[in-house]
Structures are given as structure tokens and as C-alpha cells.
Amino acid sequence: MKHLIVIAFFTASFPIIAAQEPAKFDDRLKRFDKNNDGKLSKDEVPETLKALFDRLDANKDGFVTPDEAAKFVAGGKGQAKREGIEVKPDPKNERKHGDEATKAGLDPKVLAKLDAMMQGHCDAKNVAGIIGLVVRNGHVGYHETFGFHDIELKKPMEKDAIFRLMSMTKPVIAACALTLYDEGKFGLDDPIWKFLPEWMEPKVMEGDKLVPAKNPITPRMLMSHSSGLYYGGDAKGNNVAAVAFQATRKKGATLKDFSEALAKESLKFHPGEGYQYGLSLDILGRYIEAVAGKPLDEVMKEKLFTPLKMTDTDFWVPKEKIGRLATLYRQPKPGVLEKGKDGESLTEKPTTFMGGHALNGTTADYARFCAMILGGGELDGVRVLKKETVDLMFQNHLKVPGQKYGLGGAVDGDGGYSWGGANGTQFWIDRKNKLYAVFMVQTQGYRSPAYTDFRRMVNEAVGR
């Protein structure tokens, strides 16, 4: 579980960090710089961030300097620098793109080069397999598969493959909560303790002292990671997240157990006064249950999956579908892929439905979710969210200078909304260009440059 927490922090926190000015990133390092020498030693960071420390320590001298950190995140707008085998696209891997691309307003020649680039990443074993989908102006302009669903079985990647979405679960959970908001069941700035009494008196660690939180946690804070909840350890080295997750390991454990365990731990900062990627959306899942009066999976089906016809998305994978679950790989070093954990545990329906990382789903299903958001809350004549509520998702809800985050996903203030997961799945919605895109891979602790290339070339195909 500690490994999962580190991965989630690394892959999903850095798009926010990288978008900031270097000074803002330096401020994050200073929090752990106990001796104020301007650099971090490994014993200064919590246990859950030591894997991240090793990645930042470029010269392997046992210290991380602000310069090393800045270079690490200098790989492109909104993306941490990625590692992988250099890819030289082979023109023979280009595919033909005709009417479907031009109707969508995408350049067919650029898409052909994109094909070669994605196949190159698979051939180099930067990733095992890829599905790329781009929809613009209501037309599917690009939908291609590359590489393998399972390398050892030589099973090609197929469009109906099911992926572990990890943190790409979060925007879906936020949207589900907002359906209840639209029904008047709660307000964005209501204290969550009205439905979750365990959160009536949260505490904040200030130095070595626990003090009462100045403000109550609200649904808006949960959806924007400004609640003070976080992954990893506190200032004393206690792994707050691991303590809470321990409550879910007993047979029959529920989100209620998780929430009550986590409420006993300290917050990173006073609610509403900062940003910290972490466990907020898991607690939002419990809040949904309490507001709706039924388990989260049932609410998700009722409010989202059924009306949007997301037939392959759930917190588990039925045995008859397990053959479609994309094989998970880990990458000990660039160009090497080893099989990760198999999917057998996913065939058992859980009793704890973690809103932060536990959904599984297909490219087509997630595309329908994106289409609904881009469509202002409506898809195929079915309204799921009010248009003004979708507008709220695209707004910045943080009060932290230099940072932007909407409800459930990152925003750019210019019509963009996006997020990804620890196994490499990514999506973005671009209102200005009437476009959404879904990128699916399955590599644990994803660090390949494939997604960076995918997004760059899609933007090129749009003419940006």
C-alpha cells in the first residue's frame, strides 16, 4: 500500500507542480529541509517519499537540490520529465487517415506520424500497448491501438480492453457528487460533518502540536484537494494514509470504516488554505454514500454509468470480462517491462469502494464521460449535470497563488480540464477546440514519454 501511495503522489502531483514557477516548487522542498541548508537529504523526507527522492537525486550524491528538482520537472508544460528509450518513428508504421480525420478537423499527415511514434514507443518497450482516441467537433477523428495487451502471450491491444484507471477515477467521483449537488442535496461550502459526524473536529499538525482546524472541510475542498488530507506521512514520520487504509483490510470493511479511521489523523494544513494531492476524493466517495443513503457503487451506476451507458466501468471486473483486462507491467528501467500484479483480485466485488483510485474501465466508456462533460453535462439527449455545474468543474477553486485546480481535475483557466492515473492512463478536455482525448496504457509507476508525445502531436494535428 505504501508503494501505491508513492506512485499516486508521483504521477499525479507533478503535473500541478511542474506548471508552477521554479520558486513555487522550491517552497515545496523547503517544507522538509529541517536543517535549512538549501537541499534535502534522504533522512529528511518521509518514508513514503523516498522513492520520489531517488528519482530527483540526479547525480546520486544523496542530496536533492532545487536545481535538480527544477530540471526534473522541466520536461514540458504541465508534465514531469519522462524517461524512456529514444524513439525514432519508422514511416512504415504510418497508417492512412482520411474522412474521419478531416471531419474532425485533424491533419491526417500528422496523425500518420503519430501512429509511427506510438508504435515506436511500443517497440522500444517504453510501454506494452497503447490506445489513443481523439474526438473533435463531435467526430471520432482518431482511434488506434498499438502494441500488446499481453506481451508474453503476443496478444494485441484491442479497443475493448479494460484498464485499471487509478486516479483517473477521481474526476468521475467528483461528477457523481455533483449530480447530488444539482439535486440540492448539499452545498459546495457545507461542512461535511453534517453527513459525516467523524469530521466535526478535525485537527491540524502545527510543528509538534495538534491544533483544532480553523475551518470545517467542505465538498468543494474535497473536490479540489484543498481539504488538508494527503497521501504519505506527517511531520513526525507517521504514515497517515497507511493507518487509514489498514481499516479497509478487515473482512467486510466499508468506506465508513475508512473515513472514521482517517478522521482520527491530522491534516496537512487548515482546510481551504492550501493544496495537497491525496485522499480527499476517497472521503468524497464516503460523503456521496452518506448523502445518497446507499453504497457508492450503486450511486455511480444510478447517476452516471447507466445514463451514460458506461457498461464496462466498475470497482471490479466480472470473471467473464477478466480476459479483457489489460496486463499490468512494471518498468524497473527504461526499455524493460516485467509483468506486475495479475487481475484475479479484481474479480471479487469489494465492500470498500475507493473513490480515489479504484475504478476499472474502457477507452470507450471514459470517452462517453468526456463527451458528457464537453457537452455541458448532456450526452445523447440525456442530461446528467447542469451546464452551470460543468462550468464550475472548469474553474479554479484554489486560493493558492500559482496553482489551479477545478472540481475533480486540473484546469488551465482557458477551457482545459484533465487528469491521469498512476498506471499511465490520461485524458484531457479542450473546450476551445471542442476536443477530448483519451490515452490508455498500463504500466505501474508510469514514466514513459509516450503520453507527452501523444498530446504534443494531437495538438499539432489540431493546428496548435
**CATH number of the domain that 63 lies in?**
1.10.238.10
pLDDT of residue 443: 95
pLDDT of residue 57: 64
CA distances from 393 to 125, 178, 229, 352, 413 (A): 36, 9, 20, 26, 11
- Assess contact for 41 and 63: CB atoms under 8 A: yes
* Cβ atoms < 10 Å from Cβ of 386: 16
The model's pLDDT over 172-199, given as tens digits with 9 standing for 90+, comes to 999 999 999 999 999 999 999 999 999 9
Domain that holds residue 431: 91-154+297-462
DSSP 251: T
- Mean pLDDT per 10-residue section of the chain, whose length is 464 residues: 37 36 46 68 62 63 67 39 82 96 97 98 97 98 98 98 97 98 98 98 90 97 96 67 80 95 93 95 98 98 98 97 97 92 91 95 98 98 98 96 94 96 96 98 92 96 89
pLDDT of residue 48: 45
pLDDT of residue 80: 42
Q: b/e for 113-146, b at 16 or more Cβ within 10 A? A: bbbbbbbbbbebbbbbbbbbbbbbeebebbbbbb
Is residue 78 situated within a structural domain? no
Residues 6+ apart with CB under 8 A from 327: 128, 148, 149, 150, 151, 339, 340, 442
pLDDT of residue 7: 36
Tell me which residue has cell 491533419: 107
Same domain, 232 and 366: no
Is residue 445 situated within a structural domain? yes
pLDDT of residue 102: 96
Q: Number of structural domains, the chain? A: 3
* Cβ atoms < 10 Å from Cβ of 60: 7
Q: What pTM does this model have?
A: 0.84
Q: Which of 243, 275, 294 delimits the end of a domain?
A: 294
Same domain, 319 and 419: yes
pLDDT of residue 278: 92
Residues 6+ apart with CB under 8 A from 323: none
Hey, which residues does 145 pair with through a beta bridge? 131
Phi, psi (degrees; rounded to nearest 5) at 100: -65, -35
pLDDT of residue 68: 60
- Assess contact for 461 and 107: CB atoms under 8 A: yes
Same domain, 457 and 320: yes
Same domain, 43 and 135: no
CA distances from 172 to 25, 245, 355 (A): 28, 21, 9
The model's pLDDT over 105-123, given as tens digits with 9 standing for 90+, comes to 999 999 999 999 999 999 9
Same domain, 396 and 440: yes
CA distances from 373 to 52, 379, 417 (A): 33, 9, 10
Distance of CA 347 to the CA centre of its chain: 23
pLDDT of residue 136: 98
pLDDT of residue 11: 38
Q: Which of 233, 259, 294 delimits the end of a domain?
A: 294
Tell me which residue has cell 476517497: 282
Same domain, 386 and 440: yes
Tell me which residue has cell 480527499: 280
User: In degrees, to the nearest 5, what angle opens at C-alpha 396 toward C-alphas 395 and 398?
Assistant: 150
